[in-house]
Amino acid sequence: KVSTEDPEMAFCTLANREDLNPEEGSIHHCLYQFTRNEKLTETNKLMCDVCTQRHCGPKNNIRSEKKYVYTNAQKQMLISLAPPILTLHLKRFQHAGFNLRKVNRHIKFPEVIDLAPFCMAKCKNVAEGNTKVLYSLYGVVEHSGTMRSGHYTAYVKMRTMNNHLSDLVLQGQSPQALETEPVKGQWFHISDTHVQAVSASKVLSSQAYLLFYERLL
């Protein structure tokens, strides 16, 4: 799906990506790599309808003669609509020959994350003039064990209800003002029926498998 027909805006983001300099092994680095600009060349060239018509004539002749023109191109995946709830799923497995191996490396993640460097310049539900799209962490799922067996636990923040977030979910209203601090609340570690209060530092040191953020308004 073409998000914009303006070539100059096609690869522009809400905030400058080059200012990020993300630390390797961080969620910022993961997002940076996932949304990087890819060059499609050689066997990955893109079939261009305009170039094909220019070279071969009308479409009815193209199909009969099966002549297509492929051209170098660029591809980038950016966020076009900032969600009320942001869910990040970390790939915690890698191929080892014909087997899968679990990745136990710790990935750093913040309490407040800014998605602006990963959003297209004309992100649909970001107020004009805003160059930040902030989210506050409220949940983490952690997996212990191997690819064959293990146990899931969760960290959840008990916090006050966010009425502005409800409006965004139900009515799609774009936020006009932004908070820069994480939503205040108490963190709890939940393992089956066992629930224990924990510190934010304990949460941030966990081996995250799923991360849940809510939009700061």
Residues 6+ away with beta carbon under 8 Å from 96: none
pLDDT at 135 over 90: yes
Q: What is d(CA 109, CA 93) in angstroms, rounded to the nearest whole number?
A: 19
User: What is the third-level CATH fold of 79-215?
Assistant: Cathepsin B; Chain A (3.90.70)
Q: Which residue has the higher pLDDT, 123 or 203?
A: 203
pLDDT (tens digit, 9 = 90+) per residue, 26-85? 999 999 999 998 888 888 888 887 777 777 766 555 455 557 888 888 888 999 999 999
In which band, very low, low, confident or very high, does the pLDDT at 107 lie, cut at 50, 70 and 90?
very high
Q: Flag the least confident range among 1-15, 63-77, 82-96, 122-136.
A: 1-15
Rounded to 5°, the CA angle 161-193-135 comes to 30
Whole-number pLDDT of residue 76: 87
pLDDT of residue 94: 74
Q: What is the mean pLDDT of residues 86-102?
A: 83
The reported pLDDT for the residue numbered 1 is: 46
- In the chain, what are the domain boundaries? 79-215
Mean pLDDT of 151-180: 76
Can you give the pTM of this predicted structure? 0.80
* pLDDT-derived band at 178, boundaries 50, 70, 90: low
Closest CA to 76 of 113, 31, 136, 22: 31
pLDDT for res 82: 92
- CA distance from start to end of the chain: 29
With contact defined as beta carbons under 8 Å apart, do 112 and 178 qualify?
no
Using alpha carbons, select from 196, 159, 199 the residue that is nearest to residue 181. Answer: 159
Q: Residue 3 pLDDT more than 60?
A: no
